[in-house]
Structure 1
Amino acid sequence: MKVLFATSEAAPFVKTGGLGDVAGSLPATLREKGVDARVILPLYNCIPQEYKDKMKYIDHIYIDMAWRKQYAGVFSLEHNGSLYYFVDNKFYFNGDKPYDYIHLDCEKFIFFSKAVLSLLPTLDFRPDVINCNDWQTGPIPVFLDTFQDNPFYRGIKTVMTIHNLKFQGRWDFKKIKDAMGISDYYFTPDKLEFYRDANLLKGGMVYANKISTVSSTYAGEITTEEYGEGLHNLLNARRDDLVGIVNGISYDDWNPQTDKLIYENYTAKTVHKKKAANKAKLQEELGLPVDPNKMMVGIVSRLTDQKGFDLVAYKIEELCAGGLQVVVLGTGDEKYENLFRHYAWKYPDRFSAQIYFSNEMSHKIYAACDAFLMPSRFEPCGLSQLISLRYGTVPIVRETGGLKDTVVPYNEYTGEGTGFSFANYSADEMMNIIWYAMNIYYDRKDEWNNIIDNGMSVDYSWNVSADRYIDLYKNITGIYEELKPAENKAAPKKPAAKKAAPKKTDFAVSLQADADKAADRAAENAKEPTIMKIENPFGEEEKTVKKPAAKKTAAKKPAEKSTAAKKTTAKKTSAPKKSVKSDKE
């Protein structure tokens, strides 16, 4: 089975949130389980040079974007056994960060989505499934529907994964229509139109074969008006195609036994002793009174209303009143940044505000703190509570989304449970559960240690979640053969791709392959790939491209002025355009 994971970010190349973690870990786990999973993302200027230096140029095409053509190059990189593709375009991806203002981002990711599909024939890789992620790749299922005249694209299935329904890629109707360059048929209230705007995520949800989100509870929540962000009716209509699969975490990256960023390593057997040592060293580093017996509560988060910091603000005096040390790490809304700075100044012995983000400091907080606070208004999945469980730090959460699915409330009568939770979005309920946790920490230490042991024994690696994604892919493709671990496959080598930069001469590619997906898959896989010769209409040196075996292999002469969607052609003399303005402009 072949899966292409289309994403706007992927760790370690570029990451701004949980999507980057998912895109960096899930495809690798799928590959370990026998799925030929590859990742495609933009080649941002902000990707570290150490990775760019290792990338290999594959090919380039030109794509119609409204009234102009845009260069789209593709590079590959093997990293930790996985193959990544990077879409290159300096006009769209030359900024110092992956995201900008919505009016810039919408056109940028419309281009990226179109490029993903248009570049597929150059990759020697025809996926059975394209897994799209969030609104940035929402146009892919829509464009795929417009590509059905080309036999190469027939039979490719799509999954639209929603990581946070709040962000939808909603922008001016006419401008999105102009940028996408597709028929008026797609811009109606039952498709992309959304309250007189156009909505890219909605388009992906309408045209994808299946919709997934990142926890079972969140999948149910978003079908309600309260959490549905205006799309609850559509999600209810597609309820049978909606599935919730909780995220996992990389147990290689988050392992207290081998973590090089924490003060002292530990295991489930040594956690009770070593956590106190980590706490003492963190207290010393942050200027808090060194007291390993003082209960320390950690917060590593974006400081926004969604994360429940209005509840924290309402009860912050009580949090600082006694019995606790609170450590905050993160950035976000100015009102919360200033609030936490003020209380760090007011109570320097009880409150520490680190208003920045540091991966190293986050590891130290997870390892040192006794409890971890996440009072989110809504939380599609959440990764912090999974990391805290892994590090023996007891989560205190609100019962919403993935927090409800992954944190089992402590039951003092049975001894079961991995943390503490409260149901209603209420500052009083939050404070009551914190007092309850403090009571167990200080007065019933054996019970507290039992909660730690319960949490560290739960498996929230990607193994279980990857199996559920595989079941989802099998369901929509009908491919049920036994999966075997895939070999690390090098990037396709092509004679013309030995250069560091694309040629300035024109060439034409006929997108003809896999005309009938249902035809003898086993026989097709057994054949050696054929070498398809592509004639250069301008009489220059022939270029060869590896193509999968198909019933018909004859290259067709391209029609004039064909779009990238059906036949990828390059201009005769034009080199890739360089952006005169950055994305910020």
Structure 2
Amino acid sequence: MNILFLASEAFPLIKTGGLADVAGALPRALIKRGHSLRLVLPAYRSVLERLRSDQREDKPPALKVRGQIDLDGTPVTLWQTRLPGTRVQVWLVDIPAFSERAGNPYVTPEGVDWPDNDQRFYTLCRAAAELAMGRAGIDWKADLVHANDWQGAMVCEMLAREAASPATVFTVHNLAYHGLFDYQAMHRLGLAPWLWQPDFLEFYGQLSFIKAGLVFAQRLTTVSPSYAREIQTPELGCGLDGLLRARREALSGIINGIDVQAWNPARDPCLAVPYDRRRLVRKADNKRALCTELGLADAPDKLLLGFIGRLVEQKGLDLLLATLPELLARGDVQIALLGSGVKAYEQAFTGLAQDYPQSLSVTLGYDEALAHRIEAGVDVFLMPSLFEPCGLNQIYSLRYGTLPLVHAVGGLKDTVIDSDDPQTANGFTFAPASVEALRATLKRALALYQDPEAWQQRQWNAMSGDYSWDRSAAEYERIYELALEDKKQNA
């Protein structure tokens, strides 16, 4: 089928979170399965600059004008390129609000939402709708549009008003982000007044972009089966649980895959020493190299814990800060942390590192190569998230034989198995999200680490899983077929 895949970011062109990883990988897997796919992204200034700087004289143009889309008399330039290193064709929607603005896609340098985000992403959706309907002067029309998160949600409402329109699938990557705007946005965008009601786009006195996807798409997905159930509850439904319960027959949870080429310990150029299941002994060399790099003591008998992620409350950092000082004081563990976020958390961890310089390393910011070395070098990867729609780091960890220790929630619960069966267990889970539960699970991990044979068996189990996008793409393909059937029945 012809699939238009609409996203606000895609790795490696632009990335702020997990959506970029999905948008950079799932289209590749779908093309591999025989579909014709176009990835539609905003033409951010940084993306255009990168593509132009990557251009080589001996290669065809990496970036060319594909056409123009007329939106109420305003011409919008459409650039065409390919996702670097892939066969995925990319259409970049070029409007001044994207292409003449540097910085983060969603927020100002001060961390405040861009004040015109409603108009920016509504225009993106309008352009995507024209492309999907085959009205952009390009000989290609979509059978199905796959929109992602609030930034792409409005395309579902637009296509619902069209005759002979493509089917739509809408994916929620994190329900906590609604895309909320004031009532005046209804007038700024020229939306029909009837949309301003709770059954459609109104949300407690605000306009909710995400509801356009949740209400109007034929099929809904989110990024794990457990998260699909959790968002139907008042605790994790973010005020939308009633709507999601009403649409539960259309809602599915599909675990994200990972790029098994980029995340492959046997061929990872970032590592000190490559390894795999048969050469698992080499993992110890990566632990030693990581400790040297980060200034930690060379202590192979100590459990080395890792954490990579945003330093925000969602990630369960209060649990860590209440638990780790005791372990550090006893000399039970070492810790390698990479991330940035809330200043209070940054200061708390850097202060703790000053107290235990040979046991705790804190690197503020993000470094992709270091992230790979942490995944390979640590023994246990910590993800005590209060909620986690899918999570990717625990999957990277499984692939690298690093045992994840996670709060049993969302995609963490679906991917990490903590059982008494030595043939299936691949990590550690705890519940509820309490200091006591986390402390008890860390003690279990410490005890198992003293049994090398049992520890290695759990590592083998972890490294034996299928974490490729091929599996996930087949599930999305099934959802697409159901969406097409739904569209046909309701035509």
Match of 1:113, SS state, is: helix
The answer to whether residue 467 in structure 2 is matched with residue 460 in structure 1 is yes
Alignment partner, residue 314 of structure 1: 322
1:75 positional shift: 1.1
Q: Does 1:299 align with 2:303?
A: no
Task: Give the C-alpha shift of residue 294 in structure 1.
Answer: 2.1
Give, in whole Å, the separation in 2 of the partners of 1:186 and 1:407: 42
SS at match of 1:74: strand
Name the SS for the 2:340 alignment partner. Answer: coil
Cα distance, 1:58 vs structure 2: 1.0
Counterpart check, 1:276 vs 2:280: no
After TM superposition, the score normalised by the length of structure 1 is 0.78
Letter in 2 for 1:32: K
Q: Partners in 2 of 1:361 and 1:414 — Cα distance?
A: 31
Residues 3 and 38 of structure 1 are in contact (CA less than 8 Å); yes or no, is this contact kept in structure 2? yes
On the 8 A contact 1:375/1:397 being kept in 2, the answer is yes
Aligned to 1:156: 166
Tell me if the contact between 1:103 and 1:171 (Cα under 8 Å) persists in the aligned partners.
Answer: no
Aligned to 1:15: 15
Equivalent residue of 2:269, what SS?
coil
Bigger Rg, structure 1 or 2: 1
Cα separation, 1, equivalents of 2:135 and 2:260: 35
Superposition pairs of residues 19-418 of structure 1, within 5 angstroms = 19-47=19-47, 49-52=49-52, 53=55, 54-64=62-72, 70-79=74-83, 80-96=86-102, 97-100=104-107, 101=113, 103-119=115-131, 120-122=134-136, 123-148=138-163, 154-175=164-185, 177-271=186-280, 273-321=281-329, 322-411=331-420, 414-418=422-426
Q: Distance in 1 between matches of 2:154 and 2:195?
A: 11
Structure 1 pair 414/293, CA: closer, same or farther in 2 (3 Å)? closer
What's the CA shift for 1:414? 4.4
* Distance in structure 2 (CA, Å) of the matches to 1:2 and 1:56: 22
- 2:80 partner amino acid: S
Normalised by the length of structure 2, the TM-score is 0.93
What is the rounded CA distance, in whole Å, between the counterparts of 1:292 and 1:95 in structure 2?
A: 48
Give the deviation of 1:187 after TM superposition. Answer: 1.8
Aligned residues: 469
Is the partner of 2:481 in helix, strand or coil? helix
CA shift, 1:304, in A, is 0.7
Aligned-pair distance for 1:55? 1.1
Query: Secondary structure of 2:310's partner?
Result: coil
Shift of 1:318: 1.6
**In 1, Cα distance between equivalents of 2:116 and 2:264:** 39
Counterpart-to-counterpart distance in 2, 1:307 and 1:447: 29
SS in 1 for 2:135: helix
Provide Cα deviations, 1:400-449, integer angstroms capped at 9, x if missing partner.
Answer: 000000011131x544310000120101101110111011102x111000
CA deviation after TM superposition for structure 1 residue 104, in Å = 2.5
Q: Which portions of structure 1, spanning 4 or more consecutive aligned residues, are displaced by more than 3 angstroms?
A: none
> Aligned partners of 1:387 and 1:420: how far apart in 2?
15
Counterpart in 2 of 1:580?
none
- Could you tell me whether the CA contact under 8 Å between 1:389 and 1:455 is conserved in 2? yes
For the 8 Å contact 2:70–2:76, the answer to whether it is kept is yes
The Cα offsets for residues 454-490 of structure 1, whole Å up to 9 and x where unpaired, read as 00001111111110000011112149xxxxxxxxxxx
- The 8 Å contact of residues 214 and 402 in structure 1, kept in 2 or not, is answered as yes
Distance across 2 between alignment mates of 1:517 and 1:213? 23
Q: In structure 2, the residue corresponding to 1:331 is in which secondary structure?
A: strand
SS at match of 1:289: coil
2 CA distance for matches of 1:276 and 1:364? Answer: 12
Partners of 2:299 and 2:115 in 1: CA distance? 51
In the TM superposition, residue 517 of structure 1 has moved relative to its aligned partner by: 9.0
Counterpart Cα distance in 1 of 2:99 and 2:188: 16
Q: Greater RCO between the two (CA within 8 Å, min separation 6)? A: 1
Instruction: In structure 1, give the amino acid aligned to 2:219.
Output: K
Amino acid at match of 1:135: W
Structure 2, unmatched stretches of 5+, are 56-61, 108-112
Task: Using the aligned pairs only, state the percent identity.
Answer: 37
CA contact (8 A) 1:110 1:179 kept: no
